[in-house]
Structure 1
Amino acid sequence: MCTLEKRGSVLILTITGSGEHRLNPTLIDAIRSALSRVREEPSSPCSALITTAQGKFFSNGFDLEWAGSSLSKRQLMSDKLFSLVTDLISLPMPTIAAVSGHASAAGLILALSHDYVLMRKDRGFLYMSEMDIRLVIPDWFVTVLRMKIGSPKVMREVIMRAAKITATEGVEMRIVDSAHGSAEETVEAAVRLGEELVGRKWDGHVYAQNRLAVSRELREASDRITSGPDETVGGSEGNIGSKL
């Protein structure tokens, strides 16, 4: 499901396989397990984490096929993803998403939960698909998007127009920090950024606490997470990849 590799002072978490990397409980638990190992790594004074994925998908969102019509399963996916996001924002090191392909709905939320987002520009979209597939976006997704995007006009494009945003457009919208020629180049750029950040020799505990302070709105949202009918938990368009 995922691997964890140490490259110098940088840790690379890779979601493995050639599929869509749908976020079901099994995959989310595997990522959280890897993050637990990251916390156990010696980090003197600080390391950096890169999250990427194999194949043409970073993540195509929640595994709606697994959940079917079960409200409890959909709620479980949302709760587990929120726990994963909480793990990321409390991690005592900088985090970088090297978006190697499509990042849709919950998959985009996962990417945006990192401090930095780098993306390949030869393939892939950022895409909140809820409008297109008739799902109501969870409130806490909107909290993440507001924290990371900010601009009301860009929020409108992302949520209300379900825009499929390329890496170049993502940079222009300030959703993406930098765009690169291929998946390999994106990971290499993330490694360079990670090494640069590690070179600042920040204290990991202080870094995590300051990030948590910045993410106060998301932490407060944890008390308000609810899921109504089955259309209230976000998913993604099942055939986005087949269109490219």
Structure 2
Amino acid sequence: MCTLEKQGNIFILTLTGDDDHRLNPTLLDSITAAIHRIRSETTTPSALITTAQGKYFSNGYDLAWSKADPNRFIVMSTKLRSIIKDLISLPMPTIAAVTGHASAGGFILALAHDYVMMRKDRGFLYMSEMDIKRVVPDWLVKLFKNKIGSPAALRDVIMRAEKVTAEMAVAKGIIYSAHGSAAETVTAAVKLGEELVSRNWDGHVYARNRKVLLGDVLSAMNSQVTVQDMIAANFITSSSKL
């Protein structure tokens, strides 16, 4: 489902294969295991790059798998929240090299990194919740408010379900940079990672500062299963009394 390699002090986590990298429990657990391995193997200043093979970075949750039981959606949401927490607490800079479409949960996964870089010849960022009649959870909104440069851009992403290309995303302050191809995006991510590693920062201080910066996100994710998660899963309706 994913591979992990190390080039010098740069870890490269790659979602493998030509599918759309749906975030089912198997892939989410594979990503989690890779992040835990990175944490256990890190002894010097390092950086993480997350990227993917094929047309998609990730097309979001595996909704087909979750249709059989609304609780499956909650399982996926819980596992993704755990990965976001792991990325926020990881003691190194993190970079998403988005080499294809990043939709819904895939967009969230990318935006949870410190830097997002995209190819501009293919792919877009897309939050599909308005189009598929799902409610965004509070923790996601807080994450996006921390990561997206303006209220207007945030509105367009969530309330208009806008499909944002790399050049649009740079203009809107959503991503760090755009590049000509998938290979160029990964190369640029490695270069940025090397520049950040060369600063020789204390990884634990880096992680603690990130946790302070994103403290409201962490607080919103602390509940086991939120009301918003259940509504998003169509487990209850927005008018239900709890």
| TM more than 0.5 | yes
Q: Distance in 1 between matches of 2:21 and 2:115?
A: 20
Give the direction of change, closer, same or farther, for the CA distance of 1:232–1:102 in structure 2 (3 Å limit): farther
SS in 2 for 1:132: helix
State the one-letter code of the partner of 1:163: E
Deviation string 1:180-208 (CA, Å, 9 cap, x unpaired) is 01111000000000000000000011111
Match of 1:13 in 2: 13
Cα distance, 1:69 vs. partner?
4.2
Cα distance, 1:21 vs. partner?
0.3
> Are 1:135 and 1:232, in contact at CA under 8 Å, matched by a contact in 2?
no
Match of 1:240 in 2: none
State the one-letter code of the partner of 2:38: V
More deviation, 23-32/141-150: 141-150
- In the alignment, structure 1 residue 228 sits paired with structure 2 residue 236: no
> Are 1:132 and 1:162, in contact at CA under 8 Å, matched by a contact in 2?
yes
- In the alignment, structure 1 residue 25 sits paired with structure 2 residue 35: no
Q: Distance in 1 between matches of 2:116 and 2:153?
A: 16
Q: Distance in 1 between matches of 2:100 and 2:5?
A: 20
Match of 1:111 in 2: 110
* Structure 2, gaps ≥5 residues long: 237-242
Runs of 4+ in 1 over 6 A off after TM superposition: none
- Number of equivalenced pairs: 232
* Structure 1, gaps ≥5 residues long: 234-244
Deviation string 1:30-51 (CA, Å, 9 cap, x unpaired) is 000001110122332x100000
Match of 1:135 in 2: 134
Larger relative CO (CA 8 A, sep 6+): 1 or 2?
1
> Are 1:128 and 1:162, in contact at CA under 8 Å, matched by a contact in 2?
yes
Match of 2:192 in 1: 193
Deviation string 1:58-96 (CA, Å, 9 cap, x unpaired) is 000000011114121111100100000000010000000
Identity %: 60
Deviation string 1:101-134 (CA, Å, 9 cap, x unpaired) is 0000111000000000000000001000111111
SS in 2 for 1:131: helix
Match of 2:51 in 1: 52
Match of 1:239 in 2: none
* TM-score after normalising by structure 2: 0.93
SS in 1 for 2:185: helix
SS in 2 for 1:28: helix
Q: Distance in 1 between matches of 2:235 and 2:161?
A: 16
Cα distance, 1:232 vs. partner?
7.5
Match of 1:43 in 2: 43
Q: Distance in 1 between matches of 2:66 and 2:138?
A: 20
> Are 2:70 and 2:235, in contact at CA under 8 Å, matched by a contact in 1?
no
Give the direction of change, closer, same or farther, for the CA distance of 1:172–1:150 in structure 2 (3 Å limit): closer
> Are 1:104 and 1:127, in contact at CA under 8 Å, matched by a contact in 2?
yes
Give the direction of change, closer, same or farther, for the CA distance of 1:72–1:232 in structure 2 (3 Å limit): closer
Match of 2:3 in 1: 3
State the one-letter code of the partner of 2:75: L
